[in-house]
Amino acid sequence: MSMIESPSSAAIVPESRIRIVLVEDHIILRDGLRALIEIEPDFTVVGEFDAVDQCLACIEELQPDLVLTDLELPQRSGIELLARITHLAPKARKLVLTAHDGEEHVRAALNAGADGYVLKDADRDELISAIRTVSAGQQFLCEAVANKVLCSYLSGGARRGAATAQSITGREREVLTRIALGESNKIIARSLALSVKTIEKHRSNLMRKLNLHNAAAITLFAVRHGLTGERESAVEFDAALQRNASVS
């Protein structure tokens, strides 16, 4: 059973407060999350759900600023929820809070539109930081997840699935690599002697071709497919990965 405050009867929330929806099927954990979140004076929980369908039935009317969701939910997964939210509440930012730290889970969540990924063993400060970062329009990967992605790259995992990477042009590959390394459209344009508009078009084409939705997903794709240089550059790329984990 879901716990939800009806949008029609809910108290008016000041515009300055970040409106958050929780999707978590463990009631004790959900209660704890709500209590933790609402300690912050600029956060408010406007809806709580324990299943995907219940959330989808109300999300369009609620139009929250941020949805905080687990991946493992009854009947339907949080991955499905992430993909549907993009259409029903396009302005809502999406933050995953889960116990799953496998790279396949991270990749699936990012490709479904997640803007951030945090593990359930995170402390309060990291979770609050993730909420603030994602709500501000940036991406956030917790340190443990970012490190695991990098380790996969160093162990050779980046070379698997190279055929997908070959579907992009040489120029798109160059733009993708620079995005993954944290460069802005303006810096990329200057480096490649192209217009910002051209870089934006390349970026749009990349996201369409590869089904990627944000800078964090681009970073993960670049790592997995070996587009970030030789292993000798791993230290430099590690810094870029950490930077791109919290900055769009």
Domains and CATH numbers, the chain: 18-137 (3.40.50.2300), 149-246 (3.40.50.2300)
> What is the value of pTM for the model shown?
0.64
Angstrom distance (rounded) from CA 17 to CA 88: 21
Evaluate whether 92 touches 131 at the Cβ level (below 8 Å). Answer: no
| Helices 196-210 & 215-224 angle (0-180, nearest 10) | 70
Read off the pLDDT of residues 134-192 as tens digits, 9 standing for 90 and up.
999 888 888 778 766 656 554 554 444 444 556 778 888 888 888 877 788 899 999 99
Q: Does 60 have pLDDT greater than 50?
A: yes
